[in-house]
Amino acid sequence: MAFRRDRILYDDSWLQADCPGDPPSGTTTDNTVGTYVTNYVVLGIGLVACGLTLSSTAVGWQKGLTIAFFVFTGLGYGVAGLMHQFFYDDESVIGRISYSLVTLGTGALQALSAHLFCQMYSAVREQKVIGIILFVYGLIVIAVLITKSAIIVLATKLLALIAALVVWSARASKRLQGLGWLKAGASALMLGSIAIQLGLRGVCGDGGYPDCFRSCPLPAPHFNHNALYHIVYAFALAVLGVAIMIEPDKPCQKIEVESSTPPSGCQDLNGTVVGSAES
């Protein structure tokens, strides 16, 4: 793992000369200021959102898993910022740490979605479901540590964000407490930030460097696809943190029935049955 004060960046003088010939050797690494500064922005927002959750009235699994999501996600992006700012030759060790932290946060979000889903539909094996999800993500983290696979990190993140989007949309459609539409919107915005990063990487990242970033709609290299991705993702984290502080997802009221059959639903704020066959 190499560390130097004079980081190897895209070559500004070569870019200003309109990119004559091939790029200078050793300058095709995205260690630009815009990338690592916005990594630290995600770290800061994640920690602030954690503080907002701590001050909220959320309890139990919801509070613990939400805090874990914000903390591990923020730390993962913060470590990535250090990687982009200081390390360039061999990113394997610090890259694995960053990816693993982000995946831990992703697992917490997936477990949170399962918790809210089980709560909404009065599932009796909620703790077992959450335990299985956390165990599986523990295995995924081990795989990420071994392989440093960006594909695994991306796939699990997409899965968790889609699950969160679906669950919060379902809660909102059933008019349960918790600002579901706002939280679903934050999840959708995080998904959109990933689409931005993937969609622009070919023209705003290393692939666009030999062509002077002519096809990039952003002021690359100083503010590129990674920087925009981080800013949008950080904004979505902030929205989610504020929404959780204002109104955590409240457990729906269980329906008491005089029957040997366990309750199969709950009530929203208006007393309407949700999460049952009749709803």
pLDDT the model gives residue 235:
98
Domain hosting 38: range is 30-250
> Would residue 278 count as lying in a domain?
no
> Would residue 175 count as lying in a domain?
yes
pLDDT the model gives residue 16:
83
253, with CB counted inside 10 A (0-12, 13-18, 19+), is middle
Q: Structure pTM?
A: 0.85
pLDDT the model gives residue 23:
81
> Would residue 246 count as lying in a domain?
yes
Cβ–Cβ under 8 Å, residues 117 and 166: no
> Would residue 6 count as lying in a domain?
no
**Number of folded domains that form the chain:** 1
> Would residue 11 count as lying in a domain?
no
> Would residue 255 count as lying in a domain?
no
Q: Write out residues in the chain with pLDDT < 70, as ranges.
A: 1-9, 28-29, 88-92, 122-124, 252-279
Neighbours of 43 (CB within 10 A): 22
Q: Give the CATH number, domain containing residue 36.
A: 1.20.1070
| Residues near 257 by beta carbon (within 8 Å), at least 6 away in sequence | 263
> Would residue 204 count as lying in a domain?
yes
> Would residue 161 count as lying in a domain?
yes
The enclosing H or E element of 82 equals: helix 60-86
Where does the chain show beta strands of DSSP type E?
253-254, 266-267, 273-274
